[in-house]
Amino acid sequence: MNIIYQNELLFPEILWERPVHFYKSKAGRLLVIAGSRGMTGAALLTCEAAFRSGTGILTLAFPEELKIAYKDILPEAMTLPLPQTHSGSLSKSAKEEIIEQAKISDVVVIGPGLSENSETVQLVWEVLSEIKKSMVIDADGLKALAHGIEAIRSKKGIEAVEEYFQNIEPKIILTPHPGEAGKIIKALGFDKRNYEKASYIDKHKAAAAKIISEHLNCHTVLKGYNTVIVSQKGQIIEDKVGGPELATAGTGDVLSGMIGSFWAQNPQKAFKATATAVYLHSLAGKIAKQKFGERSVMASDVIKNLPEAIKISEE
């Protein structure tokens, strides 16, 4: 495999200089669909990371009971409370409002903290083919994706899965960790090749990510030590900046917000924007490590040090 190793900022054009007369709409409109009862923090990490990455306009869509939890916590974001299930996750009846909000967005980030409620899983799968905008799918969104893939493949075969994703109009970026990647690969029918084991995938990230990208017509960011990014066309970048300090709850939510933000600001450069987000995420973690020590870094520390990482890279 021809792998490019990312030790520095590879695509400086992604951090383009903003003109004097600049408006928030030019910095991207992001829709984040996230959160459920007991998992409110994921949405906040995603949104704050997106704003720190330069997003101009952001709407957070969430189960309606979380209005109280989110009140005044993130004043920069617009909010879209939606119908919910009895367990406090998004209901299928939220579908039309999500699709309408997506129409006025540049990129949709879906998944952080959504839960694995069966009705919510079905909602995610249904909006996947009806949202006609670029999508970053993370966390519980990936689990919903795996369920849908398995349902199609078991009835019609892998060719039907490939055809389904070929017919989805917008680009998709998937951001699994090894465990989530294993579920997707197993759903694709590769479970007899060791790919159901997260430990195996962790040692073979490029090969695993390539399987996902090839069959699902998407860009794949396989997170972990030496995060790997594989494009729809098979280009491979391996990040060499991030370390164990990023192995803490919430850092994946931070990365999904960053990817969505840089993609919205660079709509024609999805792969380069994704690689840049991964690099800055790793650099911010490295800066936080220097300040707090490797064991003490939290996801919020990555966000706090993101402005410094961006400033260093711009200079």
Question: What are the tens digits of pLDDT across the range 207-234?
Answer: 999 999 999 999 999 999 999 999 999 9
**180-203 per-position pLDDT tens digit:** 999 999 999 986 667 878 899 999
Q: What percentage of the chain has pLDDT greater than the value 90?
A: 90
Q: What is the DSSP string of the chain?
A: --EEEESS-S-GGGGPPPPSS--GGGG-EEEEE---TT--HHHHHHHHHHHHTT-SEEEEEEEGGGHHHHTTTSTTSEEEEE-B-TTSSB-GGGHHHHHHHHHT-SEEEE-TT----HHHHHHHHHHHTT--SEEEE-THHHHHHHHHHHHHHHHH-HHHHHHHHHT--S-EEE---HHHHHHHHHHTT-GGGTTT-HHHHHH-HHHHHHHHHHHHTSEEEE-STT-EEE-TT--EEEE-S--GGG-STTHHHHHHHHHHHHHHHSTT-HHHHHHHHHHHHHHHHHHHHHHH-GGG--HHHHHHTHHHHHHHHH-
pLDDT at 230: 98
- How many whole angstroms separate alpha carbon 125 and alpha carbon 269? 26
Q: Give the CATH number for residue 55.
A: 3.40.1190.20
pLDDT in tens, 96-146: 999 999 999 999 999 999 999 999 999 999 999 899 999 999 999 999 999
Q: Quick check: 72 pLDDT over 90?
A: no
The yes-or-no verdict on residue 1 having pLDDT over 80 is: no
pLDDT at 240 over 80: yes
Range of the domain at 22: 3-314
Which pLDDT value is given to residue 54? Answer: 97
**pTM over the 0.95 mark:** yes
Give the number of domains in the chain. 1
Across the range 164-189, mean pLDDT stands at 94
Mean pLDDT, the chain, whole residue set:
95
pLDDT of residue 169: 80
